């Protein structure tokens, strides 16, 4: 029997004779060069379009924008080809960000929520076009005349065409009492806003509404009998192996490897704990890592064995098709046609900014999670740097323009 070294030599020789080994090395070198370009040839957003623009390193852009750290994952043809953390979890400290460091993802939560609801549709527990009051037990939508002849549905809520108020929610500091879910919906203290209500007839136009998404959070709990965090874990996180993701708010210290909050000047925020709490879970309460969100994007692209089984093709197609009068499908924002079709969503809580993106034709995508109030500059510049380095056909200047209807 030949030893393992002998077999390895024969394998390498065989690959070389057939051109396979040479091609492998070439592909590896090419990818390495693309990643280096991504990291070292970042163009300031305000310099886009200038052929003589200075190219900066990623680390320089973090310092320039006063954002301590960022977690990045890059997807190519349905596979993660690069996942890494840059910078630190806390300004002035040396503890580095890695691809498993968790960040507050803000409104990226809404895409997890959409997938959770579609998984309940797949399980036969709910219908996207049924009146949601049919499912709600502890609270009902006050129609106020707007939905007298037009029911409020999950399809409308997920596409932001249901007609609800309350664009977003304010974060809660470590010393503040958190409202229960019904207090949030009723606008009762310690909630920091008024009651969630309809402003216009469902389906007649789009109005982005974290309030509507929070109603769907209640529906998930009422239908499953689980807390929202438990339902997300059972229907989304566990099937996809998203072991670092959580809707726990406030996130407990024991979760570990947490990117801390920072303000506009790069100073630590939400002290003494170091991060805020977002009790409106479905709308803005997600904590996740670059590695975990990459798994999620791959699933929504329908790639790999897990992705192909996560949602049926019909539901994935519905999710990735704009609902009438909306920029959104069933959760994601959608732009482009043909090979440029892309789903995406940003997230912005007090001290964190996030961006996710998936290319429906190629299976490419990116995750960018930051722990600073200026993180939107970072994700705008980095997604464009990735676009340049990897030659994506999807065109954007770091954010997609909302279409006119």
Predicted local confidence at residue 21, as pLDDT: 44
Q: State the residue for tokens 């740097």.
A: 385
User: Which burial class, exposed, middle or buried, applies to 175 when counting CB atoms under 10 A from its CB (0-12, 13-18, 19+)?
Assistant: exposed
Query: What's the sign of the alpha-carbon dihedral 82, 86, 88, 94?
Result: positive
What does the pLDDT read at residue 376?
Answer: 97
Non-local (6+) Cβ contacts of 23 within 8 A are: none
Q: Provide the pLDDT for residue 10.
A: 44
Supply angle C-alpha 350, 365, 317, rounded to 5: 100
Distance set, CA 224 to CA 108, 217, 247 (Å)? 22, 11, 16
| Kind and range of the H or E run holding 295 | helix 290-300
pLDDT at position 56 is 98
Global confidence as pTM: 0.93
Beta strands (DSSP E) in 113-258 are: none
Q: Where are the domains of the chain?
A: 4-31, 41-390
Parts of the chain with a pLDDT under 70 = 1-27, 398, 404-405
Q: How far apart (Å, rounded) are the C-alpha atoms in residues 381 and 328?
A: 24
pLDDT value for 395: 76
Q: Which long-range contacts (CB under 8 A, 24 or more apart) does 96-100 make?
A: 96/69, 97/69, 97/70, 97/71, 97/259, 97/371, 98/71, 98/257, 99/71, 99/72, 99/73, 99/289, 99/290, 99/291, 100/244, 100/257, 100/289, 100/290, 100/291, 100/292
State how far the Cα of 137 lies from the Cα of 196, in Å rounded to an integer. Answer: 16
Given the candidates 3.40.47.10, 3.30.930.10, 1.20.210.10, 3.40.710.10, the CATH classification of the domain at 41-390 is 3.40.710.10
- Tokens representing residue 349 in the block: 């809580």
> How high is the pLDDT of residue 6?
53
């Amino acid at each position: 029997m030949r030893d393992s070294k002998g077999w390895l030599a024969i394998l390498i020789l065989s690959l070389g004779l057939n051109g396979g080994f040479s091609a492998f090395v070439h592909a590896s070198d090419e990818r390495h060069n693309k990643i280096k370009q991504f990291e070292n040839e970042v163009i300031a957003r305000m310099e886009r379009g200038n052929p003589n623009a200075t190219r900066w390193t990623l680390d320089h852009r973090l310092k320039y924008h006063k954002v301590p750290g960022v977690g990045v994952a890059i997807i190519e043809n349905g596979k993660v080809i690069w996942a890494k953390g840059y910078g630190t979890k806390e300004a002035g400290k040396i503890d580095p960000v890695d691809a498993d460091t968790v960040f507050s993802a803000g409104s990226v939560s809404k895409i997890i929520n959409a997938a959770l609801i579609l998984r309940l549709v797949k399980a036969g527990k709910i219908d996207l076009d049924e009146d949601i009051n049919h499912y709600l037990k502890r609270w009902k939508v006050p129609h106020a005349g707007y939905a007298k002849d037009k029911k409020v549905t999950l399809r409308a809520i997920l596409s932001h065409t249901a007609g609800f108020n309350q664009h977003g929610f304010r974060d809660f500091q470590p010393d503040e009492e958190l409202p229960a879910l019904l207090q949030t919906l009723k606008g009762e203290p310690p909630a920091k806003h008024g009651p969630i209500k309809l402003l216009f007839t469902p389906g007649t136009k789009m109005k982005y509404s974290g309030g509507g998404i929070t109603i769907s959070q209640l529906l998930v709990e009422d239908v499953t009998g689980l807390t929202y965090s438990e339902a997300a874990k059972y229907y989304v996180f566990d099937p996809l192996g998203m072991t670092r993701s959580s809707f726990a708010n406030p996130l407990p210290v024991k979760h570990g490897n947490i990117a801390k909050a920072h303000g506009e000047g790069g100073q630590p925020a939400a002290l003494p704990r170091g991060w805020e709490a977002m009790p409106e879970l479905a709308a803005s309460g997600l904590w996740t890592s670059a590695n975990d969100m990459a798994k999620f994007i791959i699933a929504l692209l329908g790639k790999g064995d897990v992705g192909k089984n996560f949602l049926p093709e019909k539901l994935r197609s519905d999710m990735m098709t704009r609902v009438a009068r909306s920029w959104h499908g069933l959760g994601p924002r959608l732009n482009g046609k043909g090979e440029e079709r892309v789903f995406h969503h940003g997230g912005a809580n007090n001290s964190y900014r996030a961006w996710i993106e998936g290319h429906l034709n190629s299976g490419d995508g990116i995750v960018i999670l930051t722990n600073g109030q200026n993180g939107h500059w970072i994700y705008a510049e980095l997604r464009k740097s990735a676009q340049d380095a990897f030659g994506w056909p999807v065109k954007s200047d770091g954010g997609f323009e909302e279409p006119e209807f």
